[in-house]
Structure 1
Amino acid sequence: MSRQRRNRFRRLDGILLLDKPRGLSSNQALQQARRLFEAEKAGHTGSLDPLATGLLPVCFGEATKIAGGLLGARKAYDTVARLGVVTDTDDADGQPLRQRPVPVLDLATIDAALRALTGRIQQRPPVYSALKRGGEPLYAKARRGETIEVEPREVEVHAFELRSAADLLDCGEPLLRLHVECGSGTYVRSLVRDLGEALGCGAHVAELRRLWVDPFREPRLWTPGDLEALAARGRHCLDACLLPVEAGMASWPQLAVGPAQAARLSYGQSVDGGFATRGPVAILDQDGRALGLGEVDGAGCLRPQRLFSWACSQPPART
C-alpha cells in the first residue's frame, strides 16, 4: 500500500504586515507568504497593483474572518505622477494612449487641482481593475479588447497633497510627488488620471507605495527577504513576526462579555445586555481575548456575526 503524502500545511492564526515588492500581484505575494508559513488558510485585505509596493496585510486562519472589515479601512499612499502621458491602465505598466505637452504650471494651479479632487467626489474606476461585471473582472474584458463603460461612483479622499514638484519646476522630469489618504474603493490611479486632465496634459502613476492601513498606522513591515531569513532560523522565528488577531480589530468598538453571554453567542443566540454601543462591534471575553464580530441592534441586543473557532462553546445557560 502506498504511503499518503503528508500535508505540510498547518493551522495558523495571525496577521502578517507584508511589504509587497514591485512586480508581484497581491495574490502572488499572498501565495508566497502562505507557502513560507505553511498556512492552511490565508487571505489579503485590499489588492495592490503589480506596480505598487508597501503594506499588504495578510490574514492567516481565523484572521480571515475580519479581512472584510479591513478592506473598508482608511489607507495612505505616496505616489509619483508622470505628467503628459495617458496610459490604458492609468499607470506605467500600461500602453501609452495619448501624449501631450505639459503646460507651464505653478504651485497654486497644482494645489487648486488637488483640492478639487479632495473630499467626497465622484470617481470613475480604471477600466483595468478587479471590479467585476457579470462575474468577471473588468481587466479580463479589457484585455480581450471589449469596449467597457465604467460608471462613476462616490468615494472619499481625505487628503490629496503635493509632496514635491521640484522635478517639474526645475525643468527636470515632469513628475509630481503626491500623498493620498482615502477610504474604501478609491483608486489612486484614477486620482492621478483626473489630476492630469485637470492640469490639461494627462498623467499616469509612475510609482505607488501604500504606507498604512487602519488600524496599522505605524506598521513594522516584513519583506519577502526578511521572511526567508527568519524561516532559515526556524519556524518559531518566522511565527514571531505575526500579530494576533486582536491587533486587526482595534478599529471596531469593543464589547466585553461574561462566560454565560459568550456561551449564548457561540450557539448563535443573541444577548440582551442593554448595550449602549450600536452597530458592528468586536466581541471580547473578560480576559481581553477576541471571540469574534457581532452587531448591536437598535434595542441594545448583541447578535453574533462571525465568531472565531476558539470562542466559548459550552452549552448556553437555561432561562
Structure 2
Amino acid sequence: MTQRPRTVFRKLDGILLLDKPRGLSSNQALQRVRHLFRADKAGHTGSLDPLATGLLPVCFGEATKIAGGLLGARKAYDTVARLGVVTDTDDAEGQPLRERPVPALGVERIDAALQALTGRIRQRPPIYSALKRGGEPLYAKARRGEPVEVEEREVEVHAFELQSAADLLDGLSGAAAPQLRLHVECGSGTYVRSLVRDLGELLGCGAHVTELRRLWVDPFREPRMWTLEALQALAERGERSLDACLLPIEAGMAAWPQVRVNAAQALRLGQGQSVAGDFRPAGSVAILDPGGRALGLGAVDAAGCLRPQRLFAWACVQPPRAPPP
C-alpha cells in the first residue's frame, strides 16, 4: 500500500471562517483544514456537534492567542426541533428515550414557551457534551454507561424565536414528524440542544434537535464561509490561492477596545514591561502599533497603566544582554 507523504507544516497566521459540514466533529474538521493549509498550529473557537453545520472560526498560528475571546462571543443559529420524541443526546444522533403525543399548538402558546427560555436563564447542559469532569469529557462517561450528573448553570439567550410551524398551527398536529423551525441568538456556554429539550417540556410533548446551523459568531456577523470542497479546490491551484481565504488577526479583535501605542511604548511592551499613561478604558484591550497592526492583548488598570498580557510573536523583543564583565 502506498503511503501518503507526511505533511510538512509551516508557520501561518490568520483566521479561516470554515463552513463545517454535517457528520464531522469540530476537531476532525479542524485537522482537515490544518493539513490543507499545512499550518503548524491551529485551534477552533467553539465546538459544533457532528450533526451541526455552519460557521467554525479556525485560528492559525498567533491567532490562537485570541481564540479564548472568540469562544465567549455571541452566536446565532437556525435549528429544527422535532416534537414528541426525547433522545438521550437531545438530538437526532441519540437513542429515543420516550415518545409522547403532540398537543394542538398555536402560535401564542409556542411564543410563550420561547419567551420563558429567553434572557438570563438556568440551563442543564446535555450529558453527551464536551464539558469535562475530572479531566474527561462527559460524553465519554455517558458512553460507558456511567451515571452523569450535570449541574444547571446560568446562560444568556438573547433571542429564541419561531420561524415556521406550518404543520402545527390551528391544531393540525397530526403530521408524521411535527417540527418547529427556530432562530437562536445566545451567549457563551449555551446549548441549543438543551433549549430545544426544555422547550419540548414546556409544550408538554418533549423535543430534540434534528438540524442545527450556526449562522454567525461575533465579530463575524456576515461571514464569508469556506467549505472543505472549496478549500480543496483552491489548494490544488496553489497555496497562494488557499492563503487568500484567510482573514488577518485584526479581523478577530473587534470584541476588545483598542489602544494605540507609539514605537517607544511598543518596544517596552515587547520586552514585557508596563507602560504608564492615561490609557482607556480599564480592562482587557487590543494593543495596536502606530501603523494599526495588532501587537496582542493587554490590560489597562484603574490608573491608566497598560501592561502586556498575550502579545504576538512579532511584538516580543528580547532586551539586549549586558556585556560580560
Query: Do both share a fold (TM > 0.5)?
Result: yes
CA contact (8 A) 2:7 2:35 kept: no
Query: 3-state DSSP class of the match of 2:314?
Result: coil
CA contact (8 A) 2:259 2:280 kept: no
Shift in Å at residue 59 of structure 1?
Answer: 0.3
Shift in Å at residue 272 of structure 1?
Answer: 1.1
Measure, in 1, the Cα distance between the counterparts of 2:6 and 2:92: 44
Query: 3-state DSSP class of the match of 1:102?
Result: coil
CA contact (8 A) 1:270 1:301 kept: yes
What is aligned with 2:266?
Answer: 262
Measure, in 1, the Cα distance between the counterparts of 2:288 and 2:316: 11
What is aligned with 1:41?
Answer: 41
What is aligned with 2:252?
Answer: 248
Residues paired across the two proteins, number: 312
Measure, in 1, the Cα distance between the counterparts of 2:156 and 2:318: 44
Q: CA RMSD in A?
A: 1.3
Do structure 1's residue 213 and structure 2's residue 220 form an aligned pair? no
Runs of 4+ in 1 over 6 A off after TM superposition: none
Taking structure 1 as the reference length, what is the TM-score of the superposition?
0.96
Q: What does the per-residue CA deviation read over 1:149-197, in whole Å, with 9 as the maximum and x for residues that have no partner?
A: 1110000000000011113335533100000000000000000000000
Measure, in 2, the Cα distance between the counterparts of 1:134 and 1:315: 41
Which is further off, 275-284 or 305-314? 305-314
Gaps in structure 2 of 5+ consecutive residues: 321-325
What is aligned with 1:309?
Answer: 313
Query: 3-state DSSP class of the match of 1:167?
Result: coil
Do structure 1's residue 166 and structure 2's residue 166 form an aligned pair? yes
Shift in Å at residue 276 of structure 1?
Answer: 2.4
5 Å matches for 1:57-206? 57-169=57-169, 171=173, 172=175, 173-206=177-210
Measure, in 2, the Cα distance between the counterparts of 1:131 and 1:57: 20
Identity of aligned residues (%): 81
Q: What does the per-residue CA deviation read over 1:102-128, in whole Å, with 9 as the maximum and x for residues that have no partner?
A: 011100000000000000000000000
Shift in Å at residue 82 of structure 1?
Answer: 0.3
Measure, in 2, the Cα distance between the counterparts of 1:124 and 1:7: 41
Query: 3-state DSSP class of the match of 1:180?
Result: strand
2:243 maps to which of 231, 239, 244 = 239
Measure, in 2, the Cα distance between the counterparts of 1:196 and 1:156: 19
What is aligned with 2:323?
Answer: none
Which is further off, 268-277 or 253-262? 268-277
Measure, in 2, the Cα distance between the counterparts of 1:7 and 1:101: 54
CA contact (8 A) 2:284 2:299 kept: yes
Measure, in 2, the Cα distance between the counterparts of 1:116 and 1:10: 50
Q: What does the per-residue CA deviation read over 1:263-290, in whole Å, with 9 as the maximum and x for residues that have no partner?
A: 1111111111111211110000010000
What is aligned with 2:282?
Answer: 278
CA contact (8 A) 2:125 2:194 kept: yes
Gaps in structure 1 of 5+ consecutive residues: none
What is aligned with 1:298?
Answer: 302
Measure, in 1, the Cα distance between the counterparts of 2:126 and 2:314: 41
Measure, in 1, the Cα distance between the counterparts of 2:280 and 2:139: 45
CA contact (8 A) 2:104 2:168 kept: no
CA contact (8 A) 1:292 1:311 kept: yes
Do structure 1's residue 227 and structure 2's residue 227 form an aligned pair? no
Shift in Å at residue 17 of structure 1?
Answer: 0.2
Query: 3-state DSSP class of the match of 2:232?
Result: helix
Measure, in 2, the Cα distance between the counterparts of 1:6 and 1:95: 39
Amino acid at match of 1:73: A
CA change 1:7–1:94 in 2 (3 A) is: closer
